[in-house]
Structure 1
Amino acid sequence: MTSIGAAARRATPRTIPSWLILALACAGQFMVILDASIVNVALPAIRAELGFTPTGLAWVVNGYLLAFAGFMLLGGRAADLFGPRRTLVAGLLLFSAASLAAGLATAAEVLVAARVAQGAGAAMMTPATLAVINTYFTEPGARARAFGAWSSAGGVGGMIGAVAGGAITTGLSWRWVFLINVPVGALLIAVALAALVTVQSARREPLDLTGAVTATAGLAALVYGVMQSAEHAWSSGRVLVPVLAGLLLLAVFVVVEARFAGRPMLPLRLLRIRGVAVGNGMLLLFGGITIAMWYFTSLFLQNVLGFSALLAGLGQTPAAVTFMLVARASAALLPRAGARAPVLGGGALFVAGFGWLSLAQAGGGYLTGVLGPTLLVAAGIGLTFPTLMAAATAEAPEGAAGVVGGLANTTSQVGSSIGLAVLATAAGAAGSPEALADGYGLVFLIAAGLGLALAAGGFLLPRRA
């Protein structure tokens, strides 16, 4: 139990309803995931008003994701050093201020800078919300249920993003896609200040600046290089230089943490914990599976079946609801079922669902070709995501809940970025609906293979999470 956890345990029965703390953690994660998707439908309107080039427009999305992945490990360490309350409030303040700047932006450069700042704020919020769960929910059953609710909140954010983005952009303006965060952020800041306990780490450790710089720069360079592969060949300098630079910086980070850091940002002994090591390795695979499901299924609906962006979002809603329901049920059963059974079941659903989805063709129907298999895949995501997050974070030692949570989310985000780049290459360039269907079919077959690998890795997980 951390010093923060001990204080929380003393305060919670007297003054802090557990449902309020859980609602705060879920709402923070909801905002983070919502803003990763809500802007997509608004991009054409943003381009028309601010004069973005096609290449520049992508950075309205990529700027957020790049900062989110790059700063998450640092955000997790901040939660350990300064406490979940301070880190969450600071993240919400930065996120809300950046949202205001984005909503008022009159130049393309200002909007991209605001999106980067939003991503940095989100990178503080996500590990802080996980640290809140690990700190305030110490009983295994309650913690598992909290993880399920937290996972479902992310699913709700992703599901609502596409639909809400279209509705807000059409009914109001693209600016309200960002401005809506300001009053919501203010409310969450007030709740966090009222509900959470302020306890700083008893050891008052200094921040490992060398580790922070090398980890953040390395992750950012790696993700940036992978993103560049969407427009340039993997052999091009625009991809290879940042990828190699990122890997080199991460190697330096490992050496610094192992040999030179007096108080390492990421103590490498954490990677000797079975759940942390195996859970993060599987989250790397899981990132590719989620990209195949949500991103490429949306493209299939729009580019092959001819759905509008709004209809594609609605078409994915049944799968998102399935994910949320299964995630809640899976998390509730986790203390009794253990970690292996849900991952094995999820892997089987991935193989079946993506295998079925790979057969969908142009001219096919939504109900038979898309709805059925996506429900299977969504159920698999609901089984595996809360399980992997619990396995990767549940054994975090005293004072390390934030950095372990940040590591788990970083791994998943990097897996999504690499998965997007690799699967986009497999999907091929634009063509006829028939050609695109073949490319997406290959993507779904690769995702089925990732599901099989995930199921095999399930045997390496601890029996209990």
Structure 2
Amino acid sequence: MTVDRARPTGERRGWAPLLAVCAGYFMVILDVTVINVAVPVIGRELSASLTGVQWVTDGYTLVLAGFLLTGGALGDRLGNRRVFCVGVAVFTVSSAACALAPDAPFLIAGRLVEGLGAALIVPGSLALLQQAYPEPAARSRAFGLWGSMAGIAASAGPLLGGALVSTVGWRWVFLINLPVGAACLALTLRHVAPSPRRADRALDWPAQCAVVAAVALLTTSLNEAGRRGWTDPAVLAGLGLAVLAVALFLVREKLARSPALPLPLLRTPAMSGGALIGLLFNFAFYGMVFTASLEFQQERGYSAFETGLALFPAVAMTMFASVLSGRLARRTGDRPLVISGMLLAALGLAGWAAAGPDPGYALLVVPMMAAGFGTSFALTGSTTTVMGAVPAEYAGTASALFNTTRQIGSATGVALGGSLLLSATTPSTGLRLSMAIGAAAYLTAAALAWRCVPRR
């Protein structure tokens, strides 16, 4: 059998496209968490105010979440590989600018541009994997490893950030992106085939602006809710405006000739249900990571580096679970994997909630491992469900929607967890309540998977 060397099959391509795409995605997720342990040092060295320090962290997340759908639409129109490579280049150059920042405003501007580059990388990552690995078995394995990058990068961030800040300085938190970005760009251009361009797909700018406004307002309101409280007028106004922006988006999509996200796609149970499952398990998992981090540092006196080590059991399971689910999917289908993963994760957080007001760390290892394993075990199947529910010309848009809902889930979980810790009678009570709510979210995701994830 003759294989075209210019466009090899998924089997002949091997690991190179997967490595290229996952390197870009790893940078994006790592920059969400690696900055956390560096922020106090950055604030001191750059004489930044508390507001400035907050924007160093939140500005990146806001731009990333707000422009994901725009990045997906651009990928579908201009070619996913082209937009992915532009995103990697923008991200890498802005990382260098952040590392050289002379003051806080310059660093904040660099972080905003980093978020824009990330928003161009993430939607194309899934679309490129679907293009590079058309065989169902190979695609499942690729999606599994892609999903493991999120958990590994998110939880490795505090460890890596703490090591860099304590040895070579905070600027290396950004400088490490330079060799990774260069390698990612070289591998993508060499080993990932060009994506088709669909010039007939007009960009619906009013709808894109409505999405940016909705996600930015929602994310900002949820972040502020953790500090101001859920009944603060500014928080309520932000949530109300976010709902209004969503309503305007839906009206626009109903009337537009070339909608950014055709509403019939959202009426597909696999598409809407898979996206909602992603929101729920990100809500539970990142809420757990956030509240556990505060518990370990503020109540148990762990350093940032020790906290990263304490959370490592949850991280260690993500790679194993994603690879395993990718291999099992071709035998069992996605539905059993998503359901069993969500049930296992729910059992883990319920166990933490029931462990008592001051459990020893040894009692928390198994619940954390269950949450990490269950989340990654379900991620592959839910990703395949969403990406398989749309025609190829909307692959970038589907990827963007899935990752947007996951970002919203993460922001909601962190905001709710922080609010519960602040408002409860004791931090332990707030932590246990947060874990119980996370377990309920996992159970809801399992029920949705039963209804929405297709049978084998």
State yes or no: 1:50 paired with 2:43. no
Question: Alignment partner for residue 264 of structure 1, among 255, 259, 276?
Answer: 259
Contact kept? 2:424, 2:430, Cα under 8 Å: no
Contact kept? 2:274, 2:453, Cα under 8 Å: no
Question: Alignment partner for residue 381 of structure 2, among 384, 387, 405?
Answer: 387
| Deviation for aligned residue 1:16 | 7.2
Structure 2 unaligned segments of length 5 or more: list them. none
Percent identity between matched residues is 34
Question: Alignment partner for residue 285 of structure 1, among 280, 284, 290?
Answer: 280
| Deviation for aligned residue 1:411 | 0.5
| Deviation for aligned residue 1:440 | 0.5
Contact kept? 2:344, 2:371, Cα under 8 Å: yes
Partner of 1:110: 106
Q: 1:74-223 counterparts in 2 under 5 A? A: 74-223=70-219
Give distance in 1, aligned partners of 2:211 and 2:357: 44
Q: Which segment is superposed worse, 398-407 or 289-298?
A: 289-298
Encode CA deviations 1:265-309: one digit per residue, 9 max, x unaligned: 111121122211110122221121112222112222222222111
Give distance in 1, aligned partners of 2:432 and 2:305: 23
Q: Structure 1 residues 184, 323: closer, same or farther in 2, change over 3 A?
A: closer
- The letter of the residue matching 1:372 is V
Q: Which segment is superposed worse, 135-144 or 205-214?
A: 205-214
Contact kept? 2:52, 2:105, Cα under 8 Å: no
| SS of aligned partner of 1:12 | coil
| Deviation for aligned residue 1:76 | 0.9
| Deviation for aligned residue 1:59 | 1.7
State yes or no: 1:36 paired with 2:20. no
Encode CA deviations 1:21-77: one digit per residue, 9 max, x unaligned: 011111111111111111111111101111222233122111111111100011111
- The letter of the residue matching 2:375 is I
| SS of aligned partner of 1:11 | coil
Contact kept? 1:223, 1:243, Cα under 8 Å: no
Structure 1 unaligned segments of length 5 or more: list them. 1-7
Q: Structure 1 residues 289, 341: closer, same or farther in 2, change over 3 A?
A: same
Q: Compute the RMSD of aligned alpha carbons.
A: 2.1
Contact kept? 2:76, 2:201, Cα under 8 Å: no
| SS of aligned partner of 1:229 | helix
Encode CA deviations 1:342-373: one digit per residue, 9 max, x unaligned: 222123212321122124456542112x1121
Contact kept? 1:304, 1:362, Cα under 8 Å: no
| Deviation for aligned residue 1:215 | 1.4
Give distance in 1, aligned partners of 2:48 and 2:359: 36
Partner of 1:68: 64
Give distance in 2, aligned partners of 1:78 and 1:395: 20
Give distance in 2, aligned partners of 1:397 and 1:58: 40
TM-score normalized with structure 2 length? 0.94
Give distance in 1, aligned partners of 2:392 and 2:380: 22
Q: 1:220-259 counterparts in 2 under 5 A? A: 220-259=216-255
Give distance in 2, aligned partners of 1:452 and 1:13: 39
Question: Alignment partner for residue 404 of structure 2, among 410, 421, 432?
Answer: 410
Partner of 2:305: 310
Q: Which segment is superposed worse, 448-457 or 22-31?
A: 448-457
Encode CA deviations 1:176-225: one digit per residue, 9 max, x unaligned: 10122122212221222222333442443221111121112221122112
- The letter of the residue matching 1:375 is M
Q: Which segment is superposed worse, 150-159 or 24-33?
A: 150-159
In the alignment of these two chains, the number of paired residues is: 453
Partner of 1:3: none
Question: Alignment partner for residue 421 of structure 1, among 403, 415, 423?
Answer: 415
| SS of aligned partner of 1:187 | helix
Encode CA deviations 1:102-159: one digit per residue, 9 max, x unaligned: 1111211111121111111111101111110111111111110000110112222123
- The letter of the residue matching 1:391 is T
Partner of 2:314: 319
Partner of 1:298: 293
Encode CA deviations 1:294-346: one digit per residue, 9 max, x unaligned: 21122222222221110110111122111210111012111222232122212
Q: Structure 1 residues 95, 167: closer, same or farther in 2, change over 3 A?
A: same
Partner of 1:4: none
State yes or no: 1:463 paired with 2:447. no
Q: Structure 1 residues 205, 165: closer, same or farther in 2, change over 3 A?
A: same
Give distance in 1, aligned partners of 2:214 and 2:5: 37
Contact kept? 1:305, 1:363, Cα under 8 Å: no
Give distance in 2, aligned partners of 1:459 and 1:170: 47
